[in-house]
Amino acid sequence: DGGITQSPKYLFRKEGQNVTLSCEQNLNHDAMYWYRQDPGQGLRLIYYSQIVNDFQKGDIAEGYSVSREKKESFPLTVTSAQKNPTAFYLCASSPRPLAGAYNEQFFGPGTRLTVL
């Protein structure tokens, strides 16, 4: 089955530790995204990548880092510099839009990170 997988579903870390969240897709999509979800705030874009070896900061990139070494993988590292990392993290992907067209984003099941 084609889709997006995120692991693990729940993650606990001590304050001051870096942690990496996994996101893999087998949809052959060019673009991938990381969002952070907090209650009452909707989804906020952390980083996005349109092609391999290229990515851009979103609205709340401070304290996070990403890599895009393979088309199907877009891991997110939450560093100790992120002041309030406890949140629900969602990964998404979409095909590269053709000129004048638009593609929906497909979401993974999410990872809930709790920093103790």
Partner 1 sequence: AQSVTQLDSQVPVFEEAPVELRCNYSSSVSVYLFWYVQYPNQGLQLLLKYLSGSTLVESINGFEAEFNKSQTSFHLRKPSVHISDTAEYFCAVGISGSARQLTFGSGTQLTVLP
* Residue ranges in contact with partner 1 by CB under 8 A: 4, 6, 31, 33, 35, 40-45, 48, 50, 56, 58, 88, 90, 92, 94, 97, 99-100, 102, 104-110, 112
Q: How far is the CB of 16 from partner 1 (least distance, A)?
A: 26
CB nearer partner 1, residue 35 or residue 85 = 35
Q: How far is the CB of 80 from partner 1 (least distance, A)?
A: 26
Nearby residues of 16 by Cβ (< 8 Å), 6 or more positions away: 80
CB nearer partner 1, residue 45 or residue 52 = 45
CB nearer partner 1, residue 69 or residue 104 = 104
Q: How far is the CB of 102 from partner 1 (least distance, A)?
A: 5
Query: Distance between CA 103 and CA 87 in Å, rounded?
Result: 27
CB nearer partner 1, residue 50 or residue 73 = 50
ω into residue 8 within 30 of 0, thus cis?
A: yes
Query: Distance between CA 25 and CA 12 in Å, rounded?
Result: 24
Q: How far is the CB of 98 from partner 1 (least distance, A)?
A: 11
